[in-house]
A and B are shown apart, each in its own frame.
Chain A
Amino acid sequence: MIKKIVSILIAILATSALLVGVKDFPNWADPNQPASVHVSPRYIEKTVEETAVPNIVTAVLADYRGYDTMFETAVIFTAGVAVMMLLRRPYKK
């Protein structure tokens, strides 16, 4: 019982700590929020001339953030290897 109360208290505290941070977010769909001021316009305006890729999403995924995508793939590979190491047992001969 005391465990439950403690965990509920911790959950409430953590949630309120996170909600305090939400106050500092830019407003929803605010055109002057930091991400809309210099990151998005760069991608939207310069994608075609810089990368010659018709799709902005692909350009961001594979070109501007190629390293990111490569290590995402590596993370998936690592996850699979971790599952193999944890679960797989040696073959019986």
Chain B
Amino acid sequence: MISRWEDIIIETLSRFLIPFMQTYSLYVLAHGHGSPGGGFQGGCIFAASFVLMVIAYDIFEAKKRFSEKINGVFCALGVFIYAGIGWLCLLLGGNFLDYGKLSKILPTDPIMARYYGMAGIETGVQITVMAIMVSIFLDLVTAGRHEEAMEEEDVGSDSK
């Protein structure tokens, strides 16, 4: 269990570092086309920012910003975005994941439609990887007893 352990240096540093990490993860996602990067790496960096948040503050503070239920939805949402873009191409008369056909609904030519299609699926990958990493981390760190474990711990710390 992660308990509240206040340290002003760690908290202040994390306060500066976490937004930087999240911005950097979006940078890694957006530059997956022109340079090394992409959804998997960006998602892991984004999840690392939540892990840092849980370590530096506590699990409640992290959950206030990103609740368990939203995280669970995001786990499936990323796969849904990926497969959804594939099916969208299918509905528009192409093959599965044939991004060029997206130009029929996007105001661009097929070449840029490919670009946006790939950006879309990378975003889906990033969302799933981020949510799953956070979910696995929270499951492991609380032994699967999210609310309950914390309540027990609060009772314990009150009685001290």
A residues sitting closer than 8 Å to B (CB atoms) are 51-55, 57-58, 61-63, 66-67, 69-70, 72-74, 76-77, 79-81, 83-84, 86-89, 91-92
Known: A58-B118, A87-B143. A77 touches B79 (CB 8 A): yes
The docked-state distance in angstroms from the alpha carbon of A62 to that of B33 is 10
- Is the beta-carbon distance between B35 and A91 smaller than 8 angstroms? no
Interface of A is mostly: helix
Least CB distance, B45 to chain A, in whole angstroms: 15
Interface of B is mostly: helix
B interface size (C-beta, 8 A)? 42
Give me the 4 closest cross-chain CB pairs, A-B, nearest first. A80-B132, A87-B144, A66-B97, A88-B144
Known: A57-B36, A58-B33. A67 touches B128 (CB 8 A): no
A-B pair number, CB within 8 angstroms: 92
The docked-state distance in angstroms from the alpha carbon of A87 to that of B135 is 11
Known: A69-B121, A77-B128, A92-B148. A83 touches B86 (CB 8 A): no
- Is the beta-carbon distance between A55 and B143 smaller than 8 angstroms? no
Least CB distance, A42 to chain B, in whole angstroms: 18
Known: A66-B86, A76-B128. A52 touches B114 (CB 8 A): yes
Per-residue contact bits, chain B 125-147, to A (CB 8 Å; 1 contact, 0 not): 10011011001100110011111
Can you list 9 residue pairs at the A/B interface with Cβ under 8 Å? A53-B115, A67-B96, A70-B83, A73-B79, A73-B128, A76-B129, A83-B140, A87-B144, A91-B147
Can you add 13 more A-B contacts, CB < 8 Å, to A74-B79, A77-B75?
A: A52-B111, A53-B114, A63-B114, A66-B121, A67-B96, A69-B125, A70-B97, A72-B40, A73-B124, A76-B129, A83-B135, A84-B139, A89-B148
**In the complex, chain A residues whose CB is within 8 Å of the CB of B148:** 89, 91-92
The docked-state distance in angstroms from the alpha carbon of A91 to that of B148 is 7
**In the complex, chain A residues whose CB is within 8 Å of the CB of B73:** none
Least CB distance, A9 to chain B, in whole angstroms: 35
Least CB distance, A36 to chain B, in whole angstroms: 22
Nearest chain A residue, comparing its CB with the CB of B129? A76
Least CB distance, A72 to chain B, in whole angstroms: 8
**In the complex, chain A residues whose CB is within 8 Å of the CB of B82:** 69-70, 73
- Is the beta-carbon distance between A89 and B129 smaller than 8 angstroms? no
The docked-state distance in angstroms from the alpha carbon of A91 to that of B131 is 20
The docked-state distance in angstroms from the alpha carbon of A71 to that of B6 is 42
- Is the beta-carbon distance between B144 and A55 smaller than 8 angstroms? no
